[in-house]
Structure 1
Amino acid sequence: MIFPFQKVTWLKLLMGEFTHLLAGGTLGIAIYIILRVSGYDFFIIKGAGFGTVMWIVHVIIIPNLVAPRPYIFRTFNEAIVDLVSHTVWGSITSWFIIVNLRKTSNKAKIKLKCRSK
């Protein structure tokens, strides 16, 4: 939506934010499906792993689909910050899913198979 050294307009900013939220919500659904299929134990580690895989897709696969030899606009530090943010996002998203499942399972009297502290 907004490439480096491009002028930022309100339309591009709003379109980028909408796309960012849509992608985050869609990947949140993917984390829920992974947790449901593989079990709810070790949910923080599974979320962190999913976030790391999404970082690999975001940094390696998608840029090569856009251009065969993309220009690298990121420094090493930016890539590390992006990796950490993807990993933290996956962990927090899986934690949020488990917290909400516990709340709803208590209301619906459904037993959630998850380790208790």
Structure 2
Amino acid sequence: MRDTVLRGTIGGLIGTAGDDIIHLLGYLFFRASMTEHYISQLLFPFAEVTALRFMYSIIIHFLAGALAGVILVMIFQRFGMDYPYLKGVGFALALWTVHVAVIPNLVSLRPILLRADWEVLFDLISHGVFGFLATFYLIKGTRRIKNY
């Protein structure tokens, strides 16, 4: 399993699953919006988040997570494995900044989804979980790999 794309994809999918579990718990217990609500609003601005649009958003979220996992592997290959969790979580939090501040400003019509302060913090934490889980897989799941 030396393949950068395969390792990164698996790590990213695991991290995204963790991110979605955190969001799902927030949705079920606190009625917090999920990343899929946000993605649906970016894809279909000012439109209702339907079940079908939510499903599209799940697919897109996991595709983005897989891509982020591949990039994380390349970061480790380029910069080494010292302080891996700091790098993994730091990368995920940098992605959160892109997800919250950059991407919405690239969309011509702003989404109508309004998030409370605590929902934004919840989203930040879930991205940290993504970085932790993806890094955990890349360290433990690919332990036998030399020259990462």
- TM-score, normalising length from structure 2? 0.63
CA 72–17 in structure 1, closer or farther in 2 if over 3 Å, else same = closer
Q: Relative contact order (alpha carbons < 8 A, sep ≥ 6): 1 or 2 greater? A: 2
**2:74 equivalent to 1:67:** no
Displacement, 1:68?
7.1
Stretches of 4+ aligned residues off by more than 6 angstroms: none
Question: Which has the larger Rg?
Answer: 1
Aligned residues: 106
Q: Structure 2: which 5+ runs fail to align? A: 1-38
Match for residue 73 of structure 2?
32
- Which of 96, 117, 123 matches 1:55? 96
- Which of 27, 37, 40 matches 1:2? 40
CA contact (8 A) 1:51 1:90 kept: yes
Distance in 2, matches of 1:2 and 1:21, equals: 14
What is the CA deviation profile of residues 25-77 of structure 1, one whole-angstrom value per residue up to 9, with x for unaligned ones?
00000001001111011111101100110010000000000037665611110
Match for residue 83 of structure 2?
42
The percentage of aligned residue pairs carrying the same residue is 32
**Which amino acid in the other structure matches residue 2 of structure 1?**
S
CA contact (8 A) 1:51 1:89 kept: yes
Q: CA RMSD in A?
A: 2.2
Distance in 2, matches of 1:21 and 1:70, equals: 21
Q: Structure 1: which 5+ runs fail to align? A: 113-117
